Structure 1
Amino acid sequence: MTIPTLPAAAARRALARAVIVRPGDVTGGEIRRLFGPGADLKVRRAPLCYLPDTNRPGRTYCDAATAHLQSGQVAVVEVAYHLPTSLLEWVAAGALRAAEQAGRERHTARCHHHAGCRTLTIALDTSGGLDADLRALVADVEADNNNDEGARVATNDDGAGVDRRITARACGWILHEGGSLRDAGQLARWARNAWWANRLGLPGARSRGVIVAADGTLLAETRRHGHGPGPYTQHVVLADMLRLTGGEYPTEIGIAMGRIRQAIGQPVAHARFSELCEGPGL
């Protein structure tokens, strides 16, 4: 993928409503500070693009994400669909700075999708070697996407777009549970496979869930059981329960998670199909 460069006039307008993130602005912990309190992570349609600074010849920035600000807080961060996950800490640092500028309306743009929402561009300073690293990282992302075509050929959907949105959901879920973005890979892969299974009409796909350890390891699958107007309950698959705890029962999710937590010695959480694979754009 070639990262496009905006024309000078468009780049000037974008930079007027942008937060610039430089290497020294990233101190570590920005992801947890931003997403822990409840900001959502989504994928936007617009790709990464370069913004040349016409006032400083030779200086270029990369438009990496858009921060949506509501009531003085960052509500949503939409990242470019080819943003390497290793740069999400940079984006989080920019979003935190965007919240500081939420009250300065002249620096923000009106959001056309949400009432009472303003937006700011998060632009990364590509000096200091980031430009070369960015191009290499984007090439890696593109290669990974090209090697994961799988079930997409069976439908006319924008498979790559769906996969990106689901991956963003999985990353957001991991962050909300107090985990690290680097541990989201297994859950993102599970969610993509579950979505495609449902899209292809495989029975029971929407009833699925998965138990995830604190380090991102997928431990066990769950299934939703119930009929009629009564409550539905999630149960751990018997074979997984036996493998993890040495016993098949109880499988009801609340009690079973306690047993699994004791067996593996670390916190666990339960992700449902509906949390990762349903909603706008899916």
Structure 2
Amino acid sequence: MYRLDTDQGSFAVKELNLADRRSPYHVEDVFRFERAAFAAGIPMAEPISADRNTLVHRWVEGEKVPEAPVSAAYAFEIGEILARLHALNVEWPHGPVEEPTPGDWRELAERAVTSGQPWADELACRVETFLAIAQFVDTCPRPGPVVLTHKDIQPWNLLAQDGRPVVLDWELSGMLDLSGELGSTALSIAKGPGLDTIEPAIFRAVLDGYVAAGGVLPSSGPSWFAFMIGGWLGHTRWNILRCLAGVEANTGPDLALSHESARDGIHGLPDLFARLPDLQLLLP
């Protein structure tokens, strides 16, 4: 991403990495959704133009949001933003992505051991856990409703402007079960890098803001965390495959970063999965 300063203002110009996308990017539909959200007053960077390779937004000044619990007021406003987004009447011609969760973890572990990957032994010891995680993601009932939404409101896609949220990076927008969107968003801004600093009050502030802005909460259950777990599972597998290939690609992270991401997922996902019963105590 580049900052472009002109006589008409400053703009964020983002070159898209299409080679490493793990799902289709519906550029025209996402841009239309962004325009509707901006027109409705959602705090975000104004979308200027979009094509297959490049996105242009008006530059927004703000502070990066650290991976740590945000303030209760900030979390409450995030909940309000989600409710307002979900209430938009925007046509979306694509259904939710419902691809089977890959179950090749045993084969991946064998390839990792054979090729001497630095995290191979840990993966081999946790194959059964990863198979259980994949089955959970595949079979966990989603209560609905399905909503058109951002799908990736995480600290790295947020700014703080005068202490209030600004939502960035809308490329993953699409249809998603409401419980998955709320659970992923609330947990991501209520915790630190691990799971040892979760602030229940911050998690619930997101839900309070959602209800205050007219949203209706779905029924409680493990589905609130299935989307987050499935996303991290897919990200981990993708980085494992990059490491097994052993070739520096022209796009995407370098091998060192892929090794770090693979190692983090192999270590962190089983911990997250084991804490599902505790996480569900956060729900209303």
Q: Please state which band the TM-score falls in when normalised by the shorter chain.
A: under 0.3
Higher RCO (CA 8 Å, separation ≥ 6 residues): 2
Q: TM-score, normalised by structure 1?
A: 0.24
**Computing the radius of gyration over CA atoms, which structure comes out larger, 1 or 2?**
1
